[in-house]
């Protein structure tokens, strides 16, 4: 029975507040970590060291970057529309943080006599919530680019809009195979359904499509058409500087983290371990974070490898390859689910 719109397990209100604070704190701490890991890994992929001057092994580099950005003046072009220009990065950031709420780091566990679910909230519409956040996040890019009053920003925003919309379709379709197999939209339910086998094996096509669309959704290379430093001078964030630019940057990396976490949850079995390993419940979040880290590393690997696609190639890949593949995947899965 597929349920829509209800919440599977409701914690006491004070637990929810504590959980929100913890997820907020941990989630935001992950961004500087990913930032420095990305730069160091990119360096390794290019046979160099990456940042290694600020702090031991350069680990304080993102702190220095963020401090520098935050201490800068909030300038804006005279052609820009003030309120929208200010609000746009906030929309991006808020939606990115909100999407973090549904990532399950573990099942319901008993902590000091209180039943606590190791997730923000286990909604019965899990992936839909994710796509809703993604769809709103696109207003952040769109408004940011448009209200800047600059042609490069506008072009970047238009590209971002077209790209996000076309890839969201395939991304959603790729998840439908999983949802049909699991018979639930709850992410916790999807993880529990992977007890016998992770969905990366039966839903391999879905995994590939989801990941590829994930690159486009997070504006990561090779699909960073909306930023395209070489042709669009950073696209929709051309006119942004200081804290606002930092917000966009932060949102981008949060999106990367969310997509990685969702991929780990949906296709790599969340907190489940293979070979019948059943560690105590406190290991579960670490397992999820480790799987997430692997996918982030994969994203960085791809960034170090592939050049940016041309715009028509991007559209062709989205509509002519990913969408038919995802549809076919849904079709085959549906037949298999119905017949078995």
Partner 1 sequence: MTPWNPSDDVIAVQRGPEPGGPSAAYRAFGETLRGMKTTFARVLEGPKTIQYPEEKVPVYPRFRGRHKLHRFEDTGLEKCVGCSLCAAACPADCIRVVAAENTPENRVSAGERYAAVYEINMSRCIFCGYCEVACPFDAITMGHEYELSDRHRGDLIFTKEMLLAEPLERTPLRAEGE
Structure tokens at 325: 């593949």
Q: Per CB under 8 A, does 49 bind partner 1?
A: yes
Q: Are 187 and 102 in contact (CB under 8 A)?
A: yes
- Residue 206 CB contacts under 8 Å (≥ 6 apart), including other chains: 174, 175, 177, 178, 199, 267, 326, 329, 333
Q: Per CB under 8 A, does 302 bind partner 1?
A: yes
**Nearest distance from C-beta of residue 288 to partner 1, angstroms:** 25
Q: Quick one: which of 10, 22, 290, 306 contacts partner 1 (CB under 8 A)? A: 306
**Nearest distance from C-beta of residue 312 to partner 1, angstroms:** 11
What CA–CA distance (Å, rounded) separates 117 from 105?
Answer: 9
Q: Quick one: which of 3, 17, 44, 67 contacts partner 1 (CB under 8 A)? A: 44
Q: Per CB under 8 A, does 319 bind partner 1?
A: no
Q: Quick one: which of 9, 24, 45, 131 contacts partner 1 (CB under 8 A)? A: 45
Q: Per CB under 8 A, does 3 bind partner 1?
A: no
Q: Per CB under 8 A, does 332 bind partner 1?
A: no
Q: Per CB under 8 A, does 46 bind partner 1?
A: yes
**Nearest distance from C-beta of residue 320 to partner 1, angstroms:** 9
**Nearest distance from C-beta of residue 269 to partner 1, angstroms:** 24
Q: Per CB under 8 A, does 321 bind partner 1?
A: yes
Q: Quick one: which of 1, 4, 5, 47 contacts partner 1 (CB under 8 A)? A: 47
**Nearest distance from C-beta of residue 132 to partner 1, angstroms:** 31
| 42-50, 63-71, 148-156, 228-236 -> range binding partner 1 (CB under 8 A) | 42-50
**Nearest distance from C-beta of residue 43 to partner 1, angstroms:** 7
Residues that bind partner 1 (CB under 8 A): 43-49, 301-302, 304-306, 321
């Amino acid at each position: 029975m597929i349920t829509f719109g209800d919440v599977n397990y409701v914690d006491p209100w004070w637990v929810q507040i504590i959980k929100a604070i913890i997820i907020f704190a941990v989630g935001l701490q992950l961004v500087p970590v990913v930032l420095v890991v990305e730069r160091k890994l990119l360096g390794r992929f290019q046979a160099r060291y990456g940042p290694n001057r600020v702090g031991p092994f350069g680990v304080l580099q993102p702190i220095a970057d963020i401090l520098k950005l935050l201490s800068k003046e909030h300038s804006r072009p005279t052609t820009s529309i003030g309120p929208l220009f200010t609000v746009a990065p906030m929309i991006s950031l808020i939606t990115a943080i909100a999407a973090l709420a549904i990532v399950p780091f573990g099942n319901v566990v008993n902590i000091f006599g209180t039943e606590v679910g190791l997730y923000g909230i286990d909604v019965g519409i899990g992936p839909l919530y994710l796509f809703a956040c993604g769809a709103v996040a696109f207003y952040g890019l769109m408004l940011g680019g448009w209200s800047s009053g600059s042609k490069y920003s506008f072009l970047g925003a238009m590209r971002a809009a077209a790209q996000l919309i076309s890839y969201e379709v395939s991304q959603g379709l790729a998840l439908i195979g999983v949802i049909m197999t699991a018979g639930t939209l709850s992410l916790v339910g999807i993880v529990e359904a992977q007890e016998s086998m992770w969905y990366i094996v039966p839903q391999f096509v879905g995994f590939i499509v989801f990941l590829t669309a994930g690159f486009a959704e997070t504006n990561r290379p090779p699909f960073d058409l909306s930023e395209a430093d070489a042709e669009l001078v950073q696209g929709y964030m051309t006119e942004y500087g200081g804290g606002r630019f930092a917000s966009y940057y932060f949102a981008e990396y949060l999106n990367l983290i969310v997509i990685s976490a969702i991929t780990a949850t949906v296709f790599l079995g969340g907190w489940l371990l293979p070979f019948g390993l059943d560690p105590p419940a406190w290991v579960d979040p670490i397992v999820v974070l480790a799987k997430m880290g692997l996918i982030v590393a994969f994203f960085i690997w791809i960034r170090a490898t592939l050049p940016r696609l041309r715009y028509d190639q991007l559209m062709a890949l989205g509509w002519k390859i990913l969408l038919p593949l995802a549809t076919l995947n849904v079709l085959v899965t549906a037949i298999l689910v119905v017949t078995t």
